Amino acid sequence: MSSSAVMRTEKLQKVYRTGATETPALRGVDLELEEREFTATAGPSGSGKSTLLHLLGGLDRPTDGEIYLDGRAMSGLSKDELARLRLTRIGFVFQAYNLIPVLTVVENTAFVLELQGIPYRERIRRARAILAELRVDKYADQFPNRLSGGEQQRVAVARAVVSDPAIVLADEPTANLDTKTSLDLIDLMRRMNEEHETTFLFATHDTRLLDRVDRVIHLEDGRIARDERVR
């Protein structure tokens, strides 16, 4: 493992079991994500992109193999320890239903900081600052249902980076957006990556986004088919 790797996997496997039926989703993935890297994982539906992100994010456990975050193995962690890890070291952007509907935009952004126990004034200050960077500060006091899909995803990105995590994992963040909005969102994520020096890994099946990243990991049938440096 290189000294600048934020996250690393070893022979990562995931098999879903439904009764007697076994469906392998990942079949031994070895991967290293470097600090400040802006990486996409691409592949057709069912290739294992989302499964990989969920395992890396500690939202699910691998059937076999190991994941290291900051050099620390995740397999031995309890549910509560995994939750703590997600809270402090990992930012998430999901495909949909990203925001808590009863909280305003600024409250949604500050929610992770609240969970971390940051005092009210400090977390609101930081949330407003990041919303301004992502150009959604004018919606700060509105509820999410007043925002478009693209604006909601920008707020989700703001929430993901506001606590300065080691890595942001985004699971098909542009899946429900039109092309222009998708490109805008990826550009904003890229800006966050560069300005905050945060490592990003996002899953997509939209090839138009791939020329904006440093590296593309192509997944097919649960395996890395190709790992290419774009920049």
Partner 1 sequence: MKVALRHLVRNRRRTLLTLLAVLIPVYFLVFMFGFANANLRDMFETATRFDTGHAQIRAVPTKATGSAIPLMRDPSDALAALAEVKEIEWWTVRLDLPAMASVGERSRTIYVRGIVPEEVDPVSGLADRIVAGESLATGTGGVVVGEELALLLKLEVGDEIVLLGAHPEAALGAIRAPVVGVYRAPEAALGRTVIYADLSTARQLARSETAATAIVLRVAGVTGPGDQTALDRAVNDLRANLPAGYEVQDWLELVPMVATYMGILTPALLIVGAIFFALGGLVVLNTIYLSVLERTRELGLILALGAARRRVVRMILAEAGAIAVAGAVGGAVTGVGLILVVEAFGGIPLWGAAAQMMREIGMSPVLHLSANFVQVALSTASMTAVAVLAAWWPARRASRLEPMEAMRYVE
Q: What part of residues 110-139 is at the interface with partner 1 (CB under 8 A)?
A: 111-112, 115
Exposed e or buried b per residue across 151-184, where buried means at least 16 C-beta atoms within 10 angstroms of its C-beta: bbbbbbbbbbbbbebbbbbbbbbbbebeeebbbb
Q: What part of residues 154-173 is at the interface with partner 1 (CB under 8 A)?
A: 159
CB under 8 Å to 144, separation ≥6 — which residues? 99, 100, 101, 103, 105, 108, 152, 155
Residue 94 sits in the site that holds partner 1 (CB under 8 A): yes
Instruction: Tell me which of 34, 66, 68, 103 binds partner 1, using CB under 8 A.
Output: 103
Instruction: Tell me which of 42, 85, 118, 185 binds partner 1, using CB under 8 A.
Output: 85
Instruction: Tell me which of 6, 8, 42, 107 binds partner 1, using CB under 8 A.
Output: 107
Q: To 5 degrees, how large is the angle CA 103–CA 104–CA 107?
A: 75
Residue 175 sits in the site that holds partner 1 (CB under 8 A): no
Contact (Cβ atoms closer than 8 angstroms) between residue 202 and residue 216? no
H-state helical runs in 117-148: 120-133
90 backbone dihedrals φ, ψ, rounded to 5°: -130, 135
Pairing of strands 215-220, 223-229: antiparallel
Q: Which range touches partner 1 (CB under 8 A), out of 26-34, 92-100, 176-184, 188-196?
A: 92-100
For partner 1, the closer CB: 79 or 231 = 79
CB under 8 Å to 95, separation ≥6 — which residues? 171, 172, 173, 175, 176
> How many residues would you count in the chain?
231
Q: Which range touches partner 1 (CB under 8 A), out of 84-92, 132-140, 181-189, 221-229?
A: 84-92
Q: What part of residues 54-73 is at the interface with partner 1 (CB under 8 A)?
A: 54, 57, 59-60
Q: How far apart are CA 61 and CA 63, in angstroms?
A: 7
Q: Which range touches partner 1 (CB under 8 A), out of 67-75, 87-95, 189-197, 210-218?
A: 87-95
Closest C-alpha to 170, from 54, 36, 60: 54
For partner 1, the closer CB: 60 or 227 = 60
Residue 202 sits in the site that holds partner 1 (CB under 8 A): no
Q: Which residues lie across from 24 on neighbouring strands? A: 15
Q: Which range touches partner 1 (CB under 8 A), out of 16-24, 40-48, 83-91, 188-196?
A: 83-91
For partner 1, the closer CB: 88 or 181 = 88
Q: Which residues of the chain form contacts with partner 1 (CB under 8 A)?
A: 54, 57, 59-60, 79-80, 83-88, 90, 92, 94, 97-98, 100-103, 107, 111-112, 115, 159
